[in-house]
Structure 1
Amino acid sequence: MDNNHFSNCDQEAIHLCGQIQHFGCLLLFDAALNCIGWSANWEDTGLPKQSVFLGQTLMGFIDSLGIQHTIDLNEIIQDHTDSFRYRYVADISLAHTAHYLSIYPFDNKIYVEIEQHRSQSHRFKNTFFYAKHINDSGDTWKALAENIFTVTGYDRVMIYKFSENGDGQVIAEHVVGGLEPLLGYHYPEFDIPKQARELYTKIFARVTPDIDAAPIPVWGIEPENLDLSMTAIRAMSPIHLQYLRNAQVKASGSFSIIINGKLWGLVACQNRVPKYIDLAQRHLSVFIVQYAVNSFLAKKQIEDNNFKLKTKSVAFEIRQNLFTKKDLDKVISSLTSSLMDILQADGIAFKYLDRWHIVGITPQKEMILSLDNHFRKTVTEPLFWQSDFQWPQDKEDKIFTFPGIALIDLENKLDFKIYFFRKEVKVEETWAGVPEKRLIYDPTKEINFPSPRTSFNAWKKTVEGTAPKWKKREINFLKNLSITIQEACLKKILEIQSLNEKLIETNNILETFSYTLSHDLKNPLAALQMTAQMIRDRPGLSQEFLGKAGRNMMEAIKLMNNMLDKTVHFARTKSYEFEYETVYPERFIENIIDDCSVRFNVHNLQFEKGRILPIDGEKTLIYQLFLNLLGNAIKYSSNKTTPRIGIDSLIDKNYVLYKIWDNGIGMSAEETERIFEIFHRLPNALQFDGSGVGLSIVKRIVDRLDAKITVDSKLNQGTTFEIRFPIRN
């Protein structure tokens, strides 16, 4: 008969073996809590003679043990006999010997396990020691191996990590007694079959105290009806036991390393002579493993956070620099070192607008062009990565040595693409024996199973044609980098459009200014011209006249400079961008009053200060607004015998209302309609220095802040401004 018609070993139902190991006893109860099965060694455990029989109730069995403390079976079971919830453990005494009693619901049954105390429990109470050792160690897994050795005393404790294809490698180890170290050794996938790996995700501790001890059958229930997946004392597969014999091991233990719900690895323990590891030791070992996992994940989280900070910095620079540098290629060129560091790439090649830029260690440009032509035909997605890419070449001197390639292809959208290259890394792997799978047919079970390996001698092989694998976080960065470049470029295009619109608007404003300036600058220019002609055409002018002429020319120049400065300042208030914040004007109003009093030579100013409420706006704009209003109030009151100004504020519905008043020159009702026009000056204000720009700036700022301003004034009596600042939620 063709053996291929039968199941393979990885389909063997090892959880339905119907046997347990000799170091414990198993009893089974159905959902009605009646006994339906027991292991053949129940009497050897020291159980009372009448405690175990078919139909015996679980409560009756518990009562027969004479346990001093009460066991609440309802709390343990709670109608969850169809699935494993947790394991209840109690200390009991059988034949004057301490034992563990374990009760747990599973597979619509109640399982009861009994095994003897074999450890010095006081050795395991100081869990702080194990936690501190892991925390203080630079190698979490090495510290874990040492901790498990302290708890169990196994000759060899290995931390075994699974690869994606099921193979594994020893990444940390603690050995004693002169055993040959196996650190770094690889083991093939079939050493730990698929169904065994699945069981390790359900029960986290498995021990075999003596591989030569005979297994104990379970009576009263057929093996195929007895699921021992959660049973800590389940018998081991004969294939596994022979595997251990071939490895010259008499006892073993395994503790699952579960990360994010998946079997990440094992703590694999071996001993040259039989060794019992009791329930307390196993439970403590599982706890220590989980602590190590949490420590590993915490360190990994810190590492990931640092990686994210790097990537966010690069993304920020891309967005920022695309607005200050001309082309995308200049931005990427400035960031090649950062990109290579983040992605651990040896070199970068990118193309923009049909121009190639190559940085670092990469294939020759001719080969890059050939590769690019290949990817144009074979890659349809904008993102590609591979760690074992092969590129056949005809000539010896052009052997491709960059199997690690990642590609972002935005050619259709931005005429941009970028390659990241990783060089080949030749690795010599050491395997525990030649990883050859030899199948043997078992007619009793009708399965093919791998023959247990007889040789574990070191076997080495060199792995070529691969580069370090692209990590998940690196792939995510590539995806985000692609999105960032696209968004930044799009934003730049939109920004340019917006800037063009603002430029048109600004040009229109400046055109208006030019008409005004051309008119108002004629007077000082004419004065300059007239004075210069007089000095040129009239020789022998007196020093007094020349001094006066020079002063007039300087005054005209000063007036022109001031007018130009104010015009530029006014234009800037139109395009100034800001974010709203809470501004506290009281912090700068006192300074404004003091500075303007000195500027306008006012020594006897009476300043009436009321409430100064905070405002929603932008500090610079609000400062500029108060500077102009309070400055005007002081300036236009300075000719009074007792100049007086004031400021107050209050909440008026959804606004903060400010009032600023003075007893200055005032204005007529007709003039109040024009005071916010640029360069407009009041007829009664000509005796004061000014350019007619201040209140125009005030009006622009008020508009920018979505505020409102009104004025009430009487000629020669004073002026009051009211400004309503909206309260933003």
Structure 2
Amino acid sequence: MDNPHFLNCDQEPIHLCGHVQNFGCLIVFDKFHNCIGWSENCQEIGFPRECLHNGLHLSTFISNLNLSHPIDLDRVLLDNVEIFKHRYVSDIHLQNGTYYLSIYPFDDKIFIEIEKHQSQSHQFKNIYHYAQHINNGKDIWKALADNIYTVTGYDRVMIYKFSKNGDGKVIAEHVSEGLEPLLGYHYPEFDIPQQARLLYTKIFARVTPDVDAKPIPVLGINPEMLDLSMTGIRAMSPIHLQYLRNAQVRASGSFSIIINGKLWGLVACQNTIPKTIDLAQRHLSVFIVQYAVNSFLANKQIAENNFKLKIKSIEFEIRQSLFSKQDLHGVIGSLSPRLMDILRADGIAFKYHNKWHITGSTPHLNSIQAIENSLITNNANELFWQSDFKWPDNDIKDLSHFSGIAKIDLEYKLDFKIYFFREEVKIEEIWAGQPKKEFIYDPNKPINFPSPRTSFEAWKRTVCGTAPKWTEWEIDFLKKLSIILQEACVKKITEIQALNEKLVEINNILETFSYTLSHDLKNPLAALQMTAQMIRDRPGLSQEFLGKAGKNMMEAIQLMNNMLDKTVDFARTKSYDFEYEPVYPERFIQNIIDDCKVRYNIGKLQFQKGKTLPIDGEKTLIYQLFLNLLGNAIKYSSNKGTPIIGVDSVDYGNTIVYKVWDNGIGISAEETERIFEIFHRLPNAIQFDGSGVGLSIVKRIVERLNAKITVESTLNEGTTFNIHFPKKNKDLKSTLPTNPY
């Protein structure tokens, strides 16, 4: 428990200060729109004292402003909730010039801030330039510092990143000529206390135009009743102001860098003389900061994707090698350089069946045994990683410079363990003054409070015994590697027969996959070919036709992409996971028929279209299902004088039943049991091109959708397929009759 006679920085209620800075004024209304508070300097801006009083209604106050564009208060105050959501800004003209009026709801109150225009309009016409500077810069944060310097004109703009332990480091800077650079300097955690960090996550811009300016009290309401957390002109803590004076700073500004909802860092700005940054400049700066954050996240995502591709490749190779070989020692040994590259390790040591293999820079084997004994003594888990490992025996000289260790220990399962080593990196840290908190006594209040630091002279320290930290990506890879080794080796050792059966199944699935792609991509490819030929062979086509043709080609390409993606997942897994959604077959049935008519060169086709009710399922799978059924119907009736196909559907409460029929060659009773077998061709279908894959695809799709399919056919007269699609929002089982048609 804190000593009651000490007041820490993080205990100072800076949001309940009851004062504002002198570059703006504040008027506060309650939830009933009655005035309850105003800053003492309102009269200087142009509001007579008699115009502000308790009970003044907000609408009356707004009407007295003689705005050229009226404010819709109902809309502005719609977000009147505890968390700040919206700030409405408008220009107003008072007797002393042009001002910004900001109005926003917060804490069951309505706040109005008014401050004078200061900025030049040209700054806001260069947004494209600011974006390009960030996009083209080698260092996003340096480009951000340059941009904020251009917008604000502060002498120094620093990008300040917080570490996990709370302190911070200047990672980029733009500094005016003649000032000493602070790039790389560290600052202790207590320089920015926790309650200040919390406010930075709520309001993203804070400025202090003059540290020596007298704060303006808010009248009409007790300070402890007025939460100024969201007030842009809120007065600064006296401790913070003295801190700035001690740093020889007369004006400052801060812009929050928020990443994934957390305070990642600050754009910290300083000026050696007083300087005012107005509301428009602050808003532009916040926008530029957010653009830089988005660019940073995009680059991070690209790097993460590249890392994932790299580990996917080695995961596949490990699985493939371990399934085809029994020598785990040889597999890991051959992949050691790539594992070192992925995990940025200086060396690897692994043991399998009491045989060690070492690659790169590692401790000696007797030293590694000392590590093992230490980890066993401390009950370390199967997975272990640390960047500042403390060695168990200081007398072992070769251990001290290996501070980074990661371990996978599967000795009790596979008689296997592997260590990754990183060498120590000695870092010389430069701090802006020695990070030491001192307290001074206030005789007027029986408390000790923290003294603002008076020294910012460079203070250096050398950090030893640490290696580069293991990142989240690397730790995830360690976990995956452990799982891969266990799965592959356990299956290899204990389930040889099951694995052989699995390999046969995988080969069959891959074979089915290749035939599926070959079979189902023919229709969209035929459509693409036909459209391309028309464009090539018919000069002078209209723009309208070309636009329609281009749209059709793009839709065919998108369809092929979707089919490729879904067929890959469909073919390589026993359980194809997807979210059910309403699918409307009517949208693509006619396209399928049109494409098949071209593919099979059918001039006359009679299509009997009934109801096409929506289905619960996955649209790409259902498209492939109808593609195969309708394609077969058209193909096997194409030798008729008048080919006839039809589609209809009926809602039976718990299920939707579709019927697809044709007047084609039909199927004999002996063959109906085998039509869904892969590569099985009907005896009477030899005259038609085909591979015997289409109906096997239909069967597998139906199973994935938890549907049912039946067939009725008469040789030489035609065939009817009935597909029963369950409604996913029904718990009852289907009670369909045997033949709903």
**Is the structural similarity TM-score above 0.5?**
yes
Counterpart in 2 of 1:174?
174
Cα contact 1:255–1:286 (8 A) shared by 2: yes
Matches within 5 A, 1:447-596: 448-493=448-493, 496-498=496-498, 578-580=511-513, 581-582=515-516
Q: 1:454/1:704 Cα in 2 relative to 1: closer, same or farther (>3 Å)?
A: same
Counterpart in 1 of 2:305?
305
Cα contact 1:651–1:657 (8 A) shared by 2: no
1-structure distance, mates of 2:691, 2:211:
92
Which amino acid in the other structure matches residue 258 of structure 1? I
Q: Residues 670-724 of structure 1, C-alpha deviation per residue, up to 9 Å, x if partnerless?
A: xxxxxxxxxxxxxxxxxxxxxxxxxxxxxxx99983737779xxxxxxxxxx997
2-structure distance, mates of 1:268, 1:15:
20
2-structure distance, mates of 1:85, 1:392:
54
2-structure distance, mates of 1:272, 1:126:
27
Q: 1:320/1:287 Cα in 2 relative to 1: closer, same or farther (>3 Å)?
A: same
Per-residue deviation at 1:126?
2.0
2-structure distance, mates of 1:236, 1:137:
35
Which amino acid in the other structure matches residue 578 of structure 1? E
Counterpart in 1 of 2:57?
57
Q: 1:37/1:159 Cα in 2 relative to 1: closer, same or farther (>3 Å)?
A: same
Q: Residues 423-451 of structure 1, C-alpha deviation per residue, up to 9 Å, x if partnerless?
A: 11100000001111112244656654321
| Bigger shift: residues 119-128 or 425-434 | 119-128
Q: 1:347/1:654 Cα in 2 relative to 1: closer, same or farther (>3 Å)?
A: farther
Counterpart in 2 of 1:540?
none
Q: Residues 293-338 of structure 1, C-alpha deviation per residue, up to 9 Å, x if partnerless?
A: 0011111111111111111011010011112333111111111111
2-structure distance, mates of 1:213, 1:577:
76
Q: Residues 378-431 of structure 1, C-alpha deviation per residue, up to 9 Å, x if partnerless?
A: 234221111101114253634522111011111222111111100111000000
Counterpart in 2 of 1:22?
22
Q: Residues 163-217 of structure 1, C-alpha deviation per residue, up to 9 Å, x if partnerless?
A: 0111000000001130000000000011111111111111100000000000000
Q: Residues 592-642 of structure 1, C-alpha deviation per residue, up to 9 Å, x if partnerless?
A: xxxxxxxxxxxxxxxxxxxxxxxx9xxxxxxxxxxxxxxxxxxxxxxxxxx
Q: 1:197/1:79 Cα in 2 relative to 1: closer, same or farther (>3 Å)?
A: closer
Which amino acid in the other structure matches residue 283 of structure 2? H
Report the 3-state secondary structure (helix = DSSP H, G, I; strand = E; otherwise coil) of the residue aligned with 2:461: strand
Which amino acid in the other structure matches residue 309 of structure 1? L
Cα contact 1:384–1:406 (8 A) shared by 2: yes
Report the 3-state secondary structure (helix = DSSP H, G, I; strand = E; otherwise coil) of the residue aligned with 2:324: coil
2-structure distance, mates of 1:318, 1:502:
17
Per-residue deviation at 1:654?
10
2-structure distance, mates of 1:402, 1:391:
9
Cα contact 2:370–2:392 (8 A) shared by 1: no
Cα contact 2:210–2:251 (8 A) shared by 1: yes
Which amino acid in the other structure matches residue 361 of structure 2? I
| Bigger shift: residues 357-366 or 391-400 | 391-400
Counterpart in 1 of 2:601?
none
Report the 3-state secondary structure (helix = DSSP H, G, I; strand = E; otherwise coil) of the residue aligned with 2:178: coil
Q: Residues 250-279 of structure 1, C-alpha deviation per residue, up to 9 Å, x if partnerless?
A: 000000000000000000000000000000
Per-residue deviation at 1:358?
1.1
Q: Residues 99-150 of structure 1, C-alpha deviation per residue, up to 9 Å, x if partnerless?
A: 0000000000000000000111232222111001100101000000000000
Counterpart in 2 of 1:136?
136
Counterpart in 1 of 2:697?
728
Which amino acid in the other structure matches residue 369 of structure 1? Q
| Bigger shift: residues 239-248 or 480-489 | 480-489
Which amino acid in the other structure matches residue 426 of structure 1? K
Matches within 5 A, 1:254-273: 254-273=254-273
Which amino acid in the other structure matches residue 217 of structure 2? P
Per-residue deviation at 1:498?
4.2
Q: 1:142/1:584 Cα in 2 relative to 1: closer, same or farther (>3 Å)?
A: closer
Q: Residues 446-488 of structure 1, C-alpha deviation per residue, up to 9 Å, x if partnerless?
A: 6543211111110100000111111111111111111122222
Counterpart in 1 of 2:687?
none
Cα contact 2:162–2:264 (8 A) shared by 1: yes
Cα contact 1:201–1:256 (8 A) shared by 2: yes
1-structure distance, mates of 2:199, 2:682:
78
| Bigger shift: residues 199-208 or 124-133 | 124-133
2-structure distance, mates of 1:21, 1:165:
32
2-structure distance, mates of 1:189, 1:577:
57
Per-residue deviation at 1:47?
2.1
Q: 1:134/1:501 Cα in 2 relative to 1: closer, same or farther (>3 Å)?
A: closer
Which amino acid in the other structure matches residue 347 of structure 2? G
Which amino acid in the other structure matches residue 377 of structure 1? T
Q: 1:502/1:425 Cα in 2 relative to 1: closer, same or farther (>3 Å)?
A: closer
Which amino acid in the other structure matches residue 111 of structure 1? F
| Bigger shift: residues 118-127 or 235-244 | 118-127
Matches within 5 A, 1:64-79: 64-78=64-78
Matched, 1:707 2:676: no
Report the 3-state secondary structure (helix = DSSP H, G, I; strand = E; otherwise coil) of the residue aligned with 2:475: helix
Cα contact 2:374–2:392 (8 A) shared by 1: no
Counterpart in 1 of 2:395?
395
Cα contact 2:676–2:696 (8 A) shared by 1: no
2-structure distance, mates of 1:227, 1:502:
66
Per-residue deviation at 1:51?
2.8
Q: 1:724/1:143 Cα in 2 relative to 1: closer, same or farther (>3 Å)?
A: closer
2-structure distance, mates of 1:278, 1:475:
46
Q: 1:655/1:410 Cα in 2 relative to 1: closer, same or farther (>3 Å)?
A: farther
Cα contact 1:51–1:64 (8 A) shared by 2: no
Q: 1:297/1:371 Cα in 2 relative to 1: closer, same or farther (>3 Å)?
A: same
Which amino acid in the other structure matches residue 145 of structure 1? A
Counterpart in 1 of 2:659?
none
Q: Residues 21-77 of structure 1, C-alpha deviation per residue, up to 9 Å, x if partnerless?
A: 011000000000000000011101112454311110111001111112110000011
Matches within 5 A, 1:345-424: 345-395=345-395, 397-424=397-424
Report the structure number with the largest CA radius of gyration: 1
Counterpart in 2 of 1:95?
95
Counterpart in 1 of 2:185?
185
2-structure distance, mates of 1:79, 1:303:
38
Matched, 1:215 2:148: no
Which amino acid in the other structure matches residue 267 of structure 2? V
Counterpart in 1 of 2:326?
326
Cα contact 1:35–1:53 (8 A) shared by 2: yes
Cα contact 2:26–2:38 (8 A) shared by 1: yes
Which amino acid in the other structure matches residue 707 of structure 1? H
Q: 1:410/1:446 Cα in 2 relative to 1: closer, same or farther (>3 Å)?
A: farther
TM-score by length of 1: 0.70
Per-residue deviation at 1:360?
0.5
Aligned length: 549
- Superposed CA RMSD: 3.2
Q: Residues 500-538 of structure 1, C-alpha deviation per residue, up to 9 Å, x if partnerless?
A: 7899x9xxxxxxxxxxxxxxxxxxxxxxxxxxxxxxxxx
Q: 1:216/1:584 Cα in 2 relative to 1: closer, same or farther (>3 Å)?
A: closer
Per-residue deviation at 1:372?
1.3
Which amino acid in the other structure matches residue 194 of structure 2? K
2-structure distance, mates of 1:259, 1:575:
47
1-structure distance, mates of 2:691, 2:110:
81
Cα contact 2:104–2:110 (8 A) shared by 1: yes
Counterpart in 2 of 1:252?
252
1-structure distance, mates of 2:167, 2:502:
63
Q: 1:653/1:240 Cα in 2 relative to 1: closer, same or farther (>3 Å)?
A: closer
Per-residue deviation at 1:373?
2.1
Q: Percent identity, aligned pairs only? A: 64
Q: 1:364/1:654 Cα in 2 relative to 1: closer, same or farther (>3 Å)?
A: farther
Q: Residues 1-27 of structure 1, C-alpha deviation per residue, up to 9 Å, x if partnerless?
A: x95544422111110000000110000
The answer for unaligned runs of 5 or more in structure 2 is 523-566, 568-628, 638-673, 685-689, 699-741
1-structure distance, mates of 2:224, 2:6:
18
The answer for unaligned runs of 5 or more in structure 1 is 506-573, 588-615, 617-649, 659-700, 712-721
